[in-house]
Structure 1
Amino acid sequence: MTSEANIDTHAAVGATVRARRRERGLSQQSLAEASGVSRKFLVDLEAGHERAELGKTMAVFHAPGLSLTASDPMPRGSDYDPARRDYAATFTQLISSQDFELAIKMLADYATASLNAGKPLLQRSPRLNDPHWSAALAGITKYTAHRLGQPAPSWTERVKPLNEAWMPAESYRTVREPMKKLTMSQTPAELAALNVFIRERSLATT
C-alpha cells in the first residue's frame, strides 16, 4: 500500500527522507551513494537545511522510492513541526547511534525552534547518559531562556560543568586551533559556563 505525507516545509522534506531511509535499513552513507550526493548534503537535507539543491533533493527522493505529489495542506504532526518534536528522544537516538554530525545540527534546530516557540522546548531533563551532550543541551536551554527573558527550567541547574573544555564538533572531526579560539570567543556565556563551546551564530537562525 502506498502511503502519503504532506510535505510543505524544509523540515518535512528532511523528516520524510529520514523516515524512509530508516524504514529501508539504509545508513546515511549508503543512501548518499545511491543518490549520487555527498553524505554532508544528506545530513543537511535530513536536518531541514533551507538551501538544499532541488536536483540533488529529487535524486535522494528517487533512490529509496519516494515521489512528490501536490495536494491540499494537511495538519502537520510532531515529526514535521520543530515546536512539537520530542527533542529528548531525538538526542537519545542520535547519541546512541553516534550520529554526532546530525546531533550537532539538531542542537541548532532545538535552539531556533525554542526561540520561535517563545520558550525553551526542553522543560524537563532529557536524561541523557552522556554528560557532554547533557551539558550542551542545558547550556542551550539556558541561552534560549535568557534571550527570551525567562528563567531557565530547573533541571538545567542540576547539570554540572564539564571538567575540560569541549566542542561538540570534535565528536566527528578535527577542529584546528584558530577555529577553536574563534569558537571559544564567540560562545554564549551560558554554554561557556558549562565548559561547552559552540559559536552563537551556529546556534540560532532567528
Structure 2
Amino acid sequence: MNFLSHFYFERNNQDENMVIGTVLPDLVKNAHKDWNLYPQKSPELFTTDPKLNSLLTGWKRHLEVDLLFHSSTFFFTETAKLKQLLLPILGDSPVRPSFLAHIGVELVLDHLLVTHHKIDINAFYEHLNNVDDKVLNTFLKKCGSEDTDKFFAFLNSFRSSRYLLSYQKLENISYALQRICMRLWVHPFHETTVSLLNEQLEIYKVMLEQNYLSIFDEIEGKL
C-alpha cells in the first residue's frame, strides 16, 4: 500500500511518531533505494524510549498491513483487472504490466480515499511536521543508517512540496506512475502512452470505486 492508504489505518491516531512510523519504510526507500533496514529484528534498541518505541510500532504496523494487503484475494483480483486494461497500451514498452498494475492499484486506492474524504491529507502532513527530527535521526542511526542527511533532504522536500495533495486528480496518478517507472527504465513510455494510461485508469477507477473500501475493512478487522 502507498502513503495515504497506510495513513488510513492511523487516521485517528494522535501519536505523530507512530503515524510517521507507518510510512517510514516507504520514505526510507524513496530517499535511499539501497537501504535495507530491519529495526523489527532488534526491538531492544528502541523499546526503552517511548518515542523510539512508537516509531518501531508504526514500522511494524506498516509491515503487517503490507503483508495482509499483498496476500489478499482483493490484491490478486484487482491487479489482474488493471493488468488486462494496461496490456493493450504498453506495446513495446519495457515496463512489466504486472509491475504497473501493482503500483497502479495502490495509487488509485490513495486517490479514492482522498476524493471520498476518508482521510485528511493536511492532517497527515501535520503529523509529519510535528515529528522531532532528532528522535527520527536517532531511530535511523540505531537501524544502522549512516547517511541520514540524504534522508532528511528528501523528507524536508516531501513535507514542503505536499506532493500527495496532487493525488486528488487522477491525471496526477498517471504522472506519478510514469515517475516511478523512470527510476527503473530510462524511457518507460512513449508520449502517447501517458495519455492512454490516464484513460485506462479512469475506466479502472470506476470499477474499483464500487468496493475499494472492502480491503480497508478487511485489513482493519485483522489488525
* Structure 2 length-normalised TM: 0.27
**Bigger RCO of structures 1 and 2 (CA < 8 A, at least 6 apart):** 2
